[in-house]
Amino acid sequence: MSQGDWEAVAGLLGRAPQGTFEVVVRDAAGGPIVILNSPFLADGTPMPTRYWLVGRAERESVSRLESTGGVRAAEAAVDAAELEVAHARYEALRDAAVPPGHGGPRPAGGVAGTRRGVKCLHAHLAWFLAGGPDPVGRWTCDKLGIDPARYRVTRPDGRQRAAGTARGPVAAIDCGTNSTRLLVVDAGGRPLERLMRITRLGQRVDRDGRLDERAMQRTVDVLAEFRRVMTHHHVTRARATATAAARDARNTGEFARRVTEVLGTAPEVLDGEEEGRLTYLGATADLDPADGPYLVIDVGGGSTELVGGPATALPAVSLDIGCVRGTERFLEHDPPLVGELEALRTHVRQLVAGAVAAHPELGGAAHLIGVAGTVAALVRLDQQILVYDRNLVHHAQLSLVAIERLIGELAAVPLERRLEWPALETERADVIIGGSTVLAEAMVILGFEVLTASESDLLDGIVAELLAG
């Protein structure tokens, strides 16, 4: 603690600090915003509040919020289990700072000295800005329109990072047209949890222009499950995204509101280029750049992204066709008629050829990398992987010849027969023909006879950026 910091904090508090502290969050000008207190005051009195909000403007804003019922509103808004975990973690971190062998009174409780509920928004906001996984602090930021990026946190090694960015597990959630997925990794990038649920959010969006109520509820139910998983892993930061179905629907705002309520994080509706960029980042992270350049193809439920090639500035193109959209728009019969399949093939050829003509830099890649559920399903069918094993699918080779063979076999039998195939997910059986046809025609136009499957994709790109930030 420097003399300058002591004087600045004393001026902000209007009194002399009663214990030792260090400034852990500063504003852009270097002024103190949050201090980290010793667990004991100078006279030995236990100090339960480790993180103390001292920034004048911030304190006044929080006080106004509290005066209008903010404490009760925060307690009602956040997940009780997540809050309980935050209290326990706060208490454990403070207890770790108590000198070994201390035999006198000790500070007790979690944030603001309580083990449950909400007592003081100032204390919650202070810990959140300092990097704590505090749902009440996050809620307070959102309610007051506080941007944590305006502040800087001083790390123990003296380096600085943006406020509100704790070093701990991070999570990426994607609400896709066909599936809803979660990836949780620790601070070192090691995967802790990877989950996928078929929710078919984009069901009939192509026809109705709206997200179906039942599809939204299926997705929200899964997100509630994901929220519990994130709480279990003490996730400190999360980014939620929504892709093609949400881009195309008129009622995306309603869906976003419901997602935010259950997840505690507002979903970002990614445009096709941003989706492609993040997918490329994830899909190529563990590939040798010397073996490139790479072109990544992501056959999703409502769109197909193409990104990569030999150019320095990687082009990213999003095509409005995927396994769900292709099935709903072209394959009316089960099994599909020859003419329906040919109409889908013609449409895909036109879309991909148009993309290549508009972006010739998509050509010239040495390897094609395929991501998402259609590719993984085809690898499992081709290699008869009856029980999913990521290690067997990741970086497996899949040829165009094998894809066309599988399309022929799949399209020769009705859905009820496809549901009996042990290597095929039952929830994907109705759209696998459409997705496979999109992939096959894209490979023909792009000039590839084989692709490399990658089980790393958009989610991996998101967590990589979260960890880098």
Query: Of 198, 161, 154, which Cα lies nearest the Cα of 178?
Result: 198
Give yes or no: residues 119 and 184 share one domain.
no
Looking at the predicted structure, is the pLDDT value of residue 310 above 90? no
Q: Check residue 469 and give its pLDDT.
A: 58
Give yes or no: residues 151 and 176 share one domain.
no
In a domain, 276, yes or no: no
How far is residue 167's CA from residue 261's CA, in Å, rounded to a whole number? 25
Give yes or no: residues 157 and 175 share one domain.
no
Class of residue 73 by CB neighbours under 10 A (exposed 0-12, middle 13-18, buried 19+): middle
Instruction: Count the domains in the chain.
Output: 3
The residue with tokens 């998983």 is 229
Give yes or no: residues 175 and 36 share one domain.
no
Give yes or no: residues 292 and 418 share one domain.
yes
In a domain, 384, yes or no: yes
For residues 437-461, give the mean pLDDT.
Answer: 95
Task: Assess contact for 397 and 452: CB atoms under 8 A.
Answer: yes
Give yes or no: residues 53 and 145 share one domain.
yes
Give yes or no: residues 156 and 174 share one domain.
no
For residues 13-42, give the mean pLDDT.
Answer: 91
State pLDDT tens for residues 163-186. Answer: 555 567 899 999 988 899 999 998
Q: Check residue 158 and give its pLDDT.
A: 45
Give yes or no: residues 11 and 123 share one domain.
yes
> In the chain, what's the furthest Cα-to-Cα distance?
86
In a domain, 277, yes or no: no
What is the SS3 assignment for 182? strand
- Domain span at residue 99 reads 3-162
How sure is the predictor about 63, in pLDDT bands with cuts at 50, 70 and 90?
very high
Domain boundary among 106, 128, 162: 162
Give yes or no: residues 239 and 332 share one domain.
no
In a domain, 191, yes or no: yes
Query: Of 310, 306, 313, 426, which Cα lies nearest the Cα of 372?
Result: 306
In a domain, 426, yes or no: yes
Report pTM.
0.66
Give yes or no: residues 382 and 436 share one domain.
yes
In a domain, 237, yes or no: yes
Q: Check residue 156 and give its pLDDT.
A: 43
State pLDDT tens for residues 132-151. Answer: 878 899 899 999 988 887 88
The percent of residues above 90 in pLDDT, for the chain, comes to 58
Q: Check residue 12 and give its pLDDT.
A: 93
State pLDDT tens for residues 379-397. Answer: 999 999 999 999 999 999 9
CATH number of the domain encompassing residue 261: 3.30.420.40
How sure is the predictor about 291, in pLDDT bands with cuts at 50, 70 and 90?
confident
Sign for the pseudo-dihedral over CA of 437, 442, 448, 450: negative
In a domain, 357, yes or no: yes
Q: Check residue 54 and give its pLDDT.
A: 95
Query: Could you tell me the two tokens for 355?
Result: 């993309």
Distances (CA, A) of 220 to 132, 223, 251, 409: 26, 5, 15, 35
Q: Check residue 234 and give its pLDDT.
A: 86
Give yes or no: residues 290 and 189 share one domain.
no
Give yes or no: residues 444 and 398 share one domain.
yes
The percent of residues above 70 in pLDDT, for the chain, comes to 96
Angle between the N-to-C axes of helices 80-96 and 135-144, in degrees from 0 to 180, rounded to the nearest 10:
110
Domain boundary among 270, 305, 330: 270
Rg for the chain, CA atoms, rounded: 26
Domain boundary among 239, 270, 301: 270
- What is the average pLDDT value for the chain, to the nearest integer? 89
CATH number of the domain encompassing residue 316: 3.30.420.150
In a domain, 256, yes or no: yes
DSSP string, 282-309: HHTTTS-GGG--EEEEEE-SS-EEEEE-
